[in-house]
Structures are given as C-alpha cells and as structure tokens.
Amino acid sequence: MNGKLRGLLLDFDGTIAETERFGQRAAYNQAFAELGLDWHWDESLYGELLAVAGGKERLRFYLERCRPELLDDAIASGLIVKVHQAKIRHFAKIAPTIPLRPGMLRLVREAHAAGVLIAIATTASKPGVEALLSQDPKLPFMIDLIAANEAVDRKKPHPDVYLWALERLRLRPADCVAIEDSNVGLRAALAANLPTIVTLSDYTISDDFTGASAVLSDLGERHEPAHSFQGARPKNGLVDLAFLRAVCVSANAEAASQVKM
C-alpha cells in the first residue's frame, strides 16, 4: 500500500480508441459484402451486439437472435470463421486512421518513461491492435504485452485475458490498474481483482459501472480536462500516474479493510 504502481492494463476497443463505431462495425459490414451476405449491422443493432465479447461469439449471437434459420449451416460450413477472418483483414486497413482517445498517448508515454509495464488486454484480434498502434511509430515499443483474442478461450466478462497478462508480466493485481470502457470489461477486470477506471465510450454511456474506482469521460488533456461522473476525481481533470497510484492505494486499503471485517 505504498503507492508503487507496476502495471497498467488497457482494454482496446472503446478504451484506446473509438474502434467499435469507426472501425469494427464498418469492417464487419465490409466482410459481409465481400462474402455475398445480405447482413448489415447498423449502429443500433451493433450497440446491442456489443453485450457479447469476442468477434466469433458476437457473430454467433447475431445468428441466434436475428437469423436462427442460418445458424446450423453457418457453423457446419465454417462461415462464422470466414466472416471473422475477413473482418480482421478489413479492420486492419481501417485501424491506423482511427485517432487515439484523449489522454491515451500522454498516459502511455508517462507510464513507459516511469518503468510501469503496459499491457493491452482485449477480446479483439492481435493484428487489429497492432494495426492501430502503428499510427505512431513509437507507440508499439511502449507496449510490453498484447493479450488478445487468441490468448484465451473464455472472453470477457471472464477474467482470463487479464489473468493471462498478469501471469506473463509477473505482476500482482494489487500493483496494477486497469482501464476499461464497458460493463463487460469492468466485470472482467474486477473478477481479476484489478482496481479499474472506466472511460465512457460511444456505446457504453448507459452501462452499469458499479465497482469502478472512477468513471470519467476520458483520460483528459491539458487543454481539454476529463469530466468525472463517479468515484475518484483526477486533479485538473488529467489521469496521470499520481492519480493511478492513488486509485491503487485506495483499492488496496478497501480490500484490506474487508478482509479484517
């Protein structure tokens, strides 16, 4: 409880960038068109499908809900896998054009300079993550680990991807902070015993964020501070290492008090 922050674990879609609205949904629709499917995911439908994490899992959920007559054939023919692979290719082309969310690059630079290990823990596919990171030549080298869709079988809200990342970085949850943007991601991080900050994204504004250490509009920039909605409030509206350390200390103190009770 001395405020030693050793790890920063970042979700990808909606947290590092608004990839869901500006990349993933478009990539799915491009994949549908490429494969000659008459499927189309508009913004409203896609927002509902985001309740399921993982691309192949989301495709299956869509079929179960909207096109049940196609489900068995889609599984037998490998269509779900083909659509997902096509989506990954299309997203990788779009991703470098999607800007990082406010404060993200600033915080990653600060954490890297201080020797804090940085991991991306996501249900997205690794090629898409790498494609987005390529927009800044130095950014990929500041990320110590990408724990992506391919790393674990069970997707968020299960904690597996976070546990996988913590094990490989040899970090304790008590020495880390996670940053998420959705209820699904928050549940995964909390299940891994990680203090978690939420930055609201386009599709998650109405999610339930009970248990989050802080809920903010974003990480904040000096010219455009973040707005606080719940929990701890960063000084001057900037999420920096000092704020993350304070969140870590507070979460550890609360956990210790509950053990004593």
Point out the residues that are catalytic. 11, 13
Reading the block at residue 210, the tokens are 């009970």
User: Measuring CA to CA, how many Å separate 169 from each of 53, 112, 165?
Assistant: 24, 14, 6
Reading the block at residue 107, the tokens are 């915080």
Neighbouring C-beta atoms of residue 167, cutoff 10 Å: 10
d(CA 41, CA 33): 11
Q: Are 209 and 183 in contact (CB under 8 A)?
A: yes
d(CA 11, CA 86): 23
Q: Which residue has the tokens 């964020």?
A: 209
Of 74, 157, 92, nearest to 131 (Cα)? 92
Q: Are 118 and 142 in contact (CB under 8 A)?
A: yes
Strand 117-121 to 196-199 pairing: unpaired
Half-sphere exposure of 120 (CA within 13 A, CB side): 28
